[in-house]
A and B are shown apart, each in its own frame.
Chain A
């Protein structure tokens, strides 16, 4: 678990690495070029959608794809007035599903992971293996039975039908367990217990602060996962005003195949909806502890 303590700040190199004088420079140049090609491959569609979002519908199909147009503000106002402000609603719904779902599921996962890592209790192994099976089982194959159950409960089509299934994340619990195992020392818990602290107190004042870096990673993974989820809301919801962005934009595009005028709307909608998430990722990049993910398999 030595990798656990190894925080990797963005952009820093190992200081102790000395480059030998005889080492070929050409290799490094080739490697740099390959990486930049990879970066371009990843950026081209994003750049394309940003440029295309400035074009009017007719420009979209006539001018060179990477030449900007002059209709950005027209497109934006079209987007936000479409269907009486549907896009704004979808964006807000995405924030509710992803934000609320990720916060709650991070707390739930942290508590469960902590219990599995730090307590010895009857049934621990059973729970652990059940959750491990949950990691391997594609959540999506459960979407239809989940829908049927929600329908039985009269919840299908409501906000809850998307939020509640998003709260449970076996992978989040798994990561929290890995992190609690390495970050929360048992000696310290024992010392606090001797000093008379209860289990709740030990959790909130010792374990929780120590697990914060792991929790941030779980939060980000969950946030992106819920934000990007398509099938679950697609199955659960029928009322357009409750759609998240993914399902909303999909319906826009499907209608667009009949009426090409909606194409420019789908494009500006995509551009607007990916910007916040990209910004969030760039800002929070340094808090990502993805070594957790790979470290988990060794533990």
Chain B
């Protein structure tokens, strides 16, 4: 009885609420479904798997392998494995070379392109951007051949001069050689992001600075670099994330050298554990650690740079 009396009001608000809810959710639906299917569920599944493992029950030679909850065993195993930690060590050396050089070169090229009276600016900008179109695997292949003693142009010149060959893919040159592939592929894209951001700065600011007697050097340091801060943070973030998931480059260069092991970087070890050793739980635990590590590093970077640009200072 009361229900029929009250029904018009809730129905109207319900209809109004539905009108508010439904259209945005319909627009969001395809993305939402795909996000849940390919991000949320895999994350939950990976976390689930990382706590599972095989336990031998019954003991002796006739023990039965059974899947069971193993708690943090896989995580402990991951951290106890020297190869996984060594992979992070190698990743760190690689990243220390690749990230600052990629960003530094991108920033320098962008600032130079933004200077007055530059010649062949369009040619240079386009040429530096071209490697972005080259897949990492193919970039590694190209550089791999340029590094190979028998096809390297550098060694051809050294031979003609009667000097000994330089070996690129072993010893101390290995890290710079692999980092170089990533730098080559990444400079152009980052340069364009910084450059477009520079072009967005109103030129009156420079005019004013020039009237005050500032030279291009001072303008770059005091005005341009601080103003493109957000672009630098973003490119830094992408370079860092890219570094943590390095996989294609060392994998492609592997056939060309004996010094890149099957577990050279964390992702290569995860891949081997999952597919060659069939230890999915261990691979899942390592993936979770890598993902958490990436998130932590990203958040720290964002926090640190935001404090620098908004919190502290003059």
Residues in B with CB closer than 8 Å to A212 are none
Contact between chains at A61 and B130 (CB < 8 Å) = no
Given A32-B119, A39-B123, CB of A224 within 8 Å of CB of B271:
no
Q: Which of A124, A270, A293 contacts B141 (CB 8 A)?
A: A270
Q: Which of A6, A39, A112, A148 contacts B27 (CB 8 A)?
A: A112
Name the residue of chain A whose CB is nearest to the CB of B21. Answer: A121
Residues in A with CB closer than 8 Å to B83 are none
Q: Which of A200, A291, A297 contacts B233 (CB 8 A)?
A: A297
Residues in A with CB closer than 8 Å to B26 are 199
Instruction: Report whether over half of chain B's contact residues are helix, strand or loop; otherwise say mixed.
Output: helix
Name the residue of chain B whose CB is nearest to the CB of A256. Answer: B255
Name the residue of chain A whose CB is nearest to the CB of B273. Answer: A144
Contact between chains at B129 and A170 (CB < 8 Å) = no
- Indicate if B228 sits at the interface (CB-CB under 8 A): yes
In the docked arrangement, what's the CA distance between A295 and B230, Å?
8
Interface residues in B31-68 by Cβ distance below 8 A to A read 31-32, 34-35, 37-43, 45-46, 49
- Indicate if B307 sits at the interface (CB-CB under 8 A): no
Q: Which of B35, B152, B271 contacts A130 (CB 8 A)?
A: B35
Contact between chains at A52 and B122 (CB < 8 Å) = no
Interface residues in A19-37 by Cβ distance below 8 A to B read 19-20, 23, 25, 27-28, 31-32, 34-36
Interface residues in A250-282 by Cβ distance below 8 A to B read 250, 253-254, 256-257, 263, 266-267, 270, 273-274, 277-278, 280-282
Contact between chains at A281 and B129 (CB < 8 Å) = yes
Given A16-B203, A38-B109, A61-B150, CB of A115 within 8 Å of CB of B245:
no
Q: Smallest CB–CB gap between B191 and chain A, Å?
A: 9
Contact between chains at B115 and A65 (CB < 8 Å) = no
Residues in B with CB closer than 8 Å to A64 are 153, 156
Given A65-B151, A127-B28, A145-B49, CB of A278 within 8 Å of CB of B295:
no
Residues in A with CB closer than 8 Å to B283 are 144
Contact between chains at A142 and B42 (CB < 8 Å) = yes
In the docked arrangement, what's the CA distance between A144 and B38, Å?
11
Contact between chains at A249 and B151 (CB < 8 Å) = no
Contact between chains at B184 and A35 (CB < 8 Å) = no
Size bracket of the A interface: 35 or more
Residues in B with CB closer than 8 Å to A293 are 193, 196, 231, 234
- Indicate if B223 sits at the interface (CB-CB under 8 A): no
Contact between chains at A42 and B128 (CB < 8 Å) = yes
Contact between chains at A138 and B197 (CB < 8 Å) = no
Digit string of B100-118 for contact with A (CB within 8 Å is 1, else 0)? Answer: 0000010011001101111
In the docked arrangement, what's the CA distance between A8 and B122, Å?
12
In the docked arrangement, what's the CA distance between A148 and B284, Å?
11
Q: Smallest CB–CB gap between A214 and chain B, Å?
A: 14
Contact between chains at B38 and A45 (CB < 8 Å) = no
Q: Smallest CB–CB gap between A272 and chain B, Å?
A: 11
Given A142-B39, A288-B192, A291-B196, CB of A52 within 8 Å of CB of B145:
yes
Of A32, A61, A112, A145, most buried by chain B (CB within 10 Å of CB) is A145
Given A27-B216, A34-B108, A256-B255, CB of A61 within 8 Å of CB of B24:
no
In the docked arrangement, what's the CA distance between A35 and B35, Å?
42
In the docked arrangement, what's the CA distance between A23 and B210, Å?
10
Binds A, one of B7-15, B72-80, B85-93, B132-140: B132-140
Task: A148-B45, A288-B192 given; name 13 further pairs at CB < 8 Å.
Answer: A6-B200, A8-B199, A14-B203, A19-B117, A38-B128, A65-B153, A115-B24, A137-B43, A235-B271, A235-B275, A257-B256, A293-B234, A298-B230
User: Could you list 15 A-B pairs, sorted by A, with CB under 8 Å?
Assistant: A6-B199, A8-B196, A27-B216, A35-B109, A39-B128, A136-B237, A141-B267, A144-B274, A144-B280, A148-B49, A148-B280, A253-B141, A277-B134, A280-B133, A294-B193
